[in-house]
Amino acid sequence: MSQRHIVVIGNGISGTTLARHVRKRSDDTITIISSESDYFYSRPALMYVYMGHMLQENTKPYEDRFWSENRINLRRAHVNRVDTVQKVLHLDDHSTMSYDVLVIASGSHSNPGSWHGSHFEGVQGLVSLQDLSAMESNTQNCSRAVVVGGGLIGVEMVEMLRSRGIHVTYLVREFKFWSSALRSEESDIVERHIIADHGVDLHTQTELKEILGDENGRVRAVLTTKGDEIPCSFVGIAIGVKPNIAFLQESGIETGTGILVNECFETSAKDVYAIGDCAEFRTALSGRTKIEQIWYTGRMQAETLAATLTGTTSVYRPVNFFNSAKLFDIEFQVYSRNVKIPDTCRSVFWMNHHRRCAIRLFYDPQTLRFEGVTLLGVRYRHEVCDRWLREEKDIEYVLCHLSDANFDPEFFRHYENYLVEEYNAKSGKQLQLKKRSWKRIFQGIGK
């Protein structure tokens, strides 16, 4: 295969992983273009920079010399237009760049919503370094803020603001906090925690109606659909993200919400591919969404495409779903077969409000097949939970071997017996928890 020029638009986890893996497997010329930053950085770390837990320069996983040493060219620029006929990119400095293969990994931006007043100073989302800089500026001398959106970005913004002593009113339109991921009992634990322990003014079943500004063009309050006017000088919008695809309007590349791709990440244009937050599968893969906006799926997509670009045609087959987050002081984990655990599943559940802990094991009521687990305040081993899902273990096997999954330190309290007792009480069985087996824990790792 002759040497090609592979150009990657975007230096996030997808674009960077693609470049690294292509370099491992080929001598192609590689250029990464980004208008956001000079170097790849850890996006989840943005909140910790604002909170003073780390410096921005410490968010870069690789030293600056890594790129030249690995012959990966970096270009700080914005792509204004893509000419897929001539295979040329038109940049914002009026220069052009030709490519043989183009990989679009342009990521996403905050969904600004369509409320009247969204343009006022002090109203913003949080996705990029530029958003972080704006938030730093917009919250100077701020005493009251409103955050809109009951997902992970929303709760992160709330924590960031509370770390500076800013009073936060948190608007969540759903009946419970993060109801798309948590059942009612788990939402209760998180809600009590952020209200009682962190002084957040949480309003569920409440939507933003309008943003009000002052004579200087700065936000002064919000109006809710319940008719309440809440004074504030900062509004954080966290109602999701949208793919960054505006620069493709004249490219001829087919788009929907994102850039339309098949299972090999091919777009409608020859030698043009898309991965990560900006890519939308024409047909959703079984149990998954058409657009996958999670860190590890962006990495896996990049690894799959890198193999294809270097001679081994590969089809994307995601692993079992997992996600983790920190909801203020409470750790959250989910492992499941699909993005959304079916409502038809039954569960074995245990919680402790005082300790802010909860474990819920899901299973199919007909076959007893283990379908997933959600955890609050407890950590389970990824490799063990994933293996149970891959090997289609039943709920009774999982209950008997729960100790193998527990990842908490040795002297932490363990709660597995409560789940076994709960299941026995409902089923009439007499299951017993087996002692932890390191052989079972590490069985299958690397497969």
User: pLDDT digit string (tens) for 33-51?
Assistant: 999 999 999 999 999 999 9
Q: Is the pLDDT of residue 410 over 70?
A: no
Measure the CA–CA gap between 110 and 152, rounded to whole angstroms.
13
Segment 371-386 mean pLDDT: 96
pLDDT of residue 102: 98
Q: Which of 387, 413, 398 is nearest to 347 (CA)?
A: 398
Per-residue confidence band for 445, with pLDDT thresholds at 50, 70 and 90: low
Helix (H/G/I), strand (E/B), else coil: 194: helix
Measure the CA–CA gap between 105 and 241, rounded to whole angstroms.
15
The answer to whether 402 and 345 have CB atoms below 8 angstroms apart is no
pLDDT of residue 413: 74
Per-residue confidence band for 72, with pLDDT thresholds at 50, 70 and 90: very high
Measure the CA–CA gap between 295 and 5, rounded to whole angstroms.
26
- Tell whether domain 321-442 is in CATH 3.30.390: yes
Segment 217-224 mean pLDDT: 98
Rounded to the nearest integer, the mean pLDDT of the chain is: 95
- Angle, alpha carbons 240-246-251 (nearest 5°): 140
Measure the CA–CA gap between 244 and 259, rounded to whole angstroms.
9
User: Of 211-220, 311-320, 372-381, 436-445, which gets the smallest average pLDDT?
Assistant: 436-445
Same fold, 123-239 and 321-442: no
Give me the residue spans of the domains in the chain: 5-109+242-309, 123-239, 321-442
Where residue 178 falls (left for φ over 0; alpha for ψ -120 to 50; beta otherwise) is left
User: Of 92-106, 109-123, 405-419, which gets the smallest average pLDDT?
Assistant: 405-419
Per-residue confidence band for 435, with pLDDT thresholds at 50, 70 and 90: confident
Q: Is the pLDDT of residue 5 over 80?
A: yes
Segment 75-104 mean pLDDT: 98
123-239 topology per CATH: FAD/NAD(P)-binding domain (3.50.50)
Q: Is the pLDDT of residue 446 over 60?
A: no
pLDDT of residue 441: 61
Per-residue confidence band for 244, with pLDDT thresholds at 50, 70 and 90: very high
CATH architecture, domain defined by 5-109+242-309: 3-Layer(bba) Sandwich (3.50)
Give the orientation angle of helix 13-25 with respect to helix 295-309, to 10 degrees: 30
